[in-house]
Structure 1
């Protein structure tokens, strides 16, 4: 995740790309190169213009298997741009969204993980389903709502946060949004694993979540 000094999770265009820089991009590429699957909310995938994923160019040697993309969507609606790639994304959804998701990506690419409600998604069950497919290293790229739900479900081991040397002013949200019905872990203590400084003053931190 990336945020400005005053806590904004995106810039004036509504996208995180407008507040990042080459140092953040370099770390972003390495994290993707080391992951088995990128997990992202459908809303963020649409807003940020996600397409089908592949290993970052020049870093393919860091992993042998293809990089998978997994979209979390309660409705089962899949951003069309994510279908433009070497294979369709995996879709994590609940009961209400499974049929529509299957029509878009094929039933074999749908992880139906209901949480006991009509349209809710059990993220812990989703994590287990990804692991069962050999996708143990999950890189969650947000957005803020999904990150909040992941924290509330105690599914975050590390939190990588870039602080961009910018001020955004009022308007943009934070990197963690309020979940619908759970406490996102307010007051939880983190341990600093790494802190790097980029040439422009960008700070890149890896926090260990206890």
Structure 2
């Protein structure tokens, strides 16, 4: 991995894993949630490969950076569609990731937080047959105890947002109150769009895979246009040995 550009004037050149950790480590917090998203896209803008999944456009270096993001976060945040489409399960990690978390003073695994208004999920995703992190399901107050019991039975915690819609700011406040301030959003596009729309996304990491797929694959955001354009400032650019380009952006202001 080679650093191409850094806003703080660091010279370009090859990077070690320790260098990457320093770049991707979450900033020191003030007790509030800091939200980062991580997406991979093709050169023609699709976040889906020919099979409709993001995994088919990943590269070797993207797998490494993806794993590093997870190793440094408190929370992996996803929407229910991503759980269904990408086959998500409670988070398990490789030994090097767990060693890094230990060195950073983090618990062995991050929590998986799933946003679902409908609860249309197989609760078994919360309890895979491997050692894994906690699972938190966030839904609306419309669901009674009977609807959420299957998730409890599989070991998941369920948070019911007040009101008919899931309030993302309320959710982030709940997570921060539990000490979960490093939040990594991995999808999907609708959740990503809503975080941006509500001014809740602090950093955006975008990987450009050196390929094109055509078709009508989704972008990293989907849904209604924003009321106002959201602008970001470039933090750094990396180039992988396999020609994958990594960009990191901070929300302006």
Q: Which moved more, 1:72-81 or 1:96-105?
A: 96-105
Q: Which residue of 1 aligns with 2:126?
A: 82
Q: Which residue of 1 aligns with 2:80?
A: 42
How many aligned residue pairs are there?
A: 204
Matches of residues 28-107 of structure 1 in structure 2 within 5 Å? 28-63=66-101, 64-65=106-107, 66-79=109-122, 80-84=124-128, 86=132, 89-97=135-143, 99=145, 100-105=147-152
Mapped contact 2:110–2:134 kept (Cα < 8 A): no
User: Alpha-carbon deviation of 1:98?
Assistant: 5.6
Mapped contact 1:6–1:167 kept (Cα < 8 A): yes
RMSD, matched Cα:
2.0
Q: Which residue of 1 aligns with 2:245?
A: 203
- Residue by residue over 1:164-193, the C-alpha shift from the partner in whole angstroms, topping out at 9 and shown as x without a partner, is 1111112111011115xxx53652221111
Runs of 5+ unmatched residues, structure 1: none
Mapped contact 2:60–2:242 kept (Cα < 8 A): no
**Partner-residue secondary structure (3-state), 2:95:** coil
- Residue by residue over 1:135-188, the C-alpha shift from the partner in whole angstroms, topping out at 9 and shown as x without a partner, is 110111111011011111111110010011111112111011115xxx536522
Runs of 5+ unmatched residues, structure 2: 1-38
TM-score normalised by length of structure 1: 0.89
Q: Which residue of 1 aligns with 2:160?
A: 112
Mapped contact 1:3–1:164 kept (Cα < 8 A): yes
Mapped contact 1:35–1:67 kept (Cα < 8 A): yes
**Partner-residue secondary structure (3-state), 1:171:** coil
Of structures 1 and 2, the larger Rg is shown by 2
User: Alpha-carbon deviation of 1:105?
Assistant: 2.4
User: Alpha-carbon deviation of 1:88?
Assistant: 5.4
TM-score normalised by length of structure 2: 0.75
Q: For the residues of structure 2 that align with 1:134 and 1:15, how far apart are their CA atoms?
A: 32
- Of 154, 166, 172 in structure 2, the residue corresponding to residue 121 of structure 1 is 166
Q: Which moved more, 1:100-109 or 1:87-96?
A: 100-109
User: Alpha-carbon deviation of 1:110?
Assistant: 1.1
Mapped contact 1:151–1:185 kept (Cα < 8 A): no
